[in-house]
A and B are shown apart, each in its own frame.
Chain A
Amino acid sequence: MNAIAFPAETMAVEGTVKPVSRLTLKSQLEDMAALWAWVEAIVAEYSISPDTAFAIHLCLEEAISNVIRHGYSGQPNHALTVDYASPNAHELVFTVEDQAPPFDPLHPSLVEELPAPTPEDFLRPGGRGILLMRKFASTIAYQRLKNGNGSGNRLTIGFVLPQ
């Protein structure tokens, strides 16, 4: 599956057929233990295949850990949210939002090809994790947010559900 960035207007939740549900986490890696249980409930609700469930878990883990480690620079107790919506019967869209300084994990400088794996690849922003997200998500898009006096980041990750 190749990732295709879709325009912001297609991310609107208008026409959503299922209620949007939100996972709220604090910016610490220990909080991510809640992620799998949340994904598991969605997987059950939509009868999602094990392979797609794997892809969702992989991409959300990567997106959230990027926010914690790089967006918030490892500082605990900041908030981030993950929402999901089903804009149609064949697609699930997850939205990861934070109030961190601008950080675009899809920026080309972070997503260059990495032919030889090194341990450092797994610690720095972007790198292999972004390659994995691009491989396993159907769509992925970044948007910088400006809310009043604050700012933040939104990563939208879509999955086409096999028929």
Chain B
Amino acid sequence: MHMQLSTQEMDGGITRVELDGRMDIAGAAAVDLKMNLVAGSAKKLLIDLQKVSFLGSMGLRSIVLPARAVLSKGGKVVIFAPTEMVASVLKASNIDSLLPIHNDLAAATAALQ
């Protein structure tokens, strides 16, 4: 299955980007451009990883690069609801120190305010 990416504008100026599929090298390549476009306009970015079944180091890069672009212009980014294995990749890479992980949507949106 190819990676799918969809976006939704939420209350409070939050952009929710939902990723769906395997974030391997092919999956990362499939969403790189769209992620960069989203990061170009979003100021409060919620990256929804609920439906991401795999995350490798190239996939991590496809999340961190656009996230840092948002952070560098004073924006905020949170990761929402990764699976246990995806969360363990984020934590092993220490990405969670840069991008907080929330499993509760209310807490995730509150962290972006």
Interface residues of A (CB under 8 A from B): 29, 32-33, 35-36, 50-51, 54-55, 57-58, 61-62, 65, 114-119, 122-123, 128-129, 131-132, 135-136
Contact = CB atoms under 8 A, between A and B. Distances in A.
Given A61-B58, A117-B95, 12 more contacts: A33-B26, A58-B55, A58-B89, A61-B25, A62-B57, A65-B25, A115-B97, A119-B64, A122-B64, A128-B93, A131-B92, A132-B56
Interface of B: 22, 24-26, 29, 53-58, 60-61, 64-65, 68, 84-85, 88-89, 92-95, 97-98
Contacts of B85: 50-51, 54-55
Contacts, number: 73
Q: Is the interface of B mostly helix, strand, loop or mixed?
A: helix
B56 A58 contact: yes
Main secondary structure of the interface of A (DSSP, over half): helix
A58 B54 contact: yes
B9 to A, nearest CB: 26
Nearest to B1: A36
B57 A128 contact: yes
A116 B97 contact: yes
Identify the 8 closest CB pairs spanning chains A and B, nearest first: A122-B61, A129-B57, A135-B92, A61-B56, A54-B85, A128-B93, A33-B26, A32-B25
Nearest to A135: B92
Given A32-B24, A32-B26, A128 B56 contact: no
Which of B57, B89, B94 has its CB near the most chain A CB atoms (within 10 A)? B57
